[in-house]
Amino acid sequence: MANDPDTRIAEGLRDTNMSDDDWAFLESLEDDRGMFQQIGDSWKGPLGGWAKLIFGFTVALGLLFLYVLWNVAHSTDHPIIHAIWAIAGVAVLVIMGFAKEWMFARMNMLTVLREVKRVQLEVAALREDMEKSGSE
């Protein structure tokens, strides 16, 4: 598809005089990144400590949820205690859901920032090439 904007940008970038570092950066962005790579990437940077803390927190919440489930299953002879354990289980699940939502929102934000950086670099290279070809 010759009119595809991505194809036209890629063709225009081939004609630019980008540095080797810029090309290496663009090539590294083209790799397919799985979920585990994205989780690992979220552990770096200024909020990396928080991401590690939330990850540990969700693991601890998962273990706590298993403990609560165990108590729900073994407290069926006392209806009030059974209800309290069941409510605690729902509360732990909700808290874990919010923690995981934060983690996945961070992963999504980093993916969007990565794409914005890629587009910035491509636009800068195309602009530089247009300025050079305009001055000739």
What region, left, alpha or beta, does residue 45 occupy, with left being phi > 0 and alpha being psi -120 to 50 degrees?
left
Q: Which residues contact 69 (CB under 8 A, 6 or more apart)?
A: 89
CB 110 within 8 A of CB 41: yes
**For range 99-116, the mean pLDDT:** 89
Domain count, the chain: 1
- The pair of structure tokens assigned to 134 is 């305009």
Confirm whether 30 is domain-assigned. Answer: no
pTM: 0.64
127, pLDDT greater than 60: yes
- Flag whether 93 is in a domain: yes
Mean pLDDT of the chain: 83
| Full residue range of the structural domain in which residue 107 is found | 45-128
Neighbours of 69 (CB within 10 A): 14
Which pLDDT does position 16 carry in this prediction? 62
User: Model confidence over 78-87: pLDDT tens digits?
Assistant: 999 999 999 9
In the predicted structure, residue 94 carries a pLDDT above the cut 70? yes
Question: What's residue 11's pLDDT?
Answer: 62
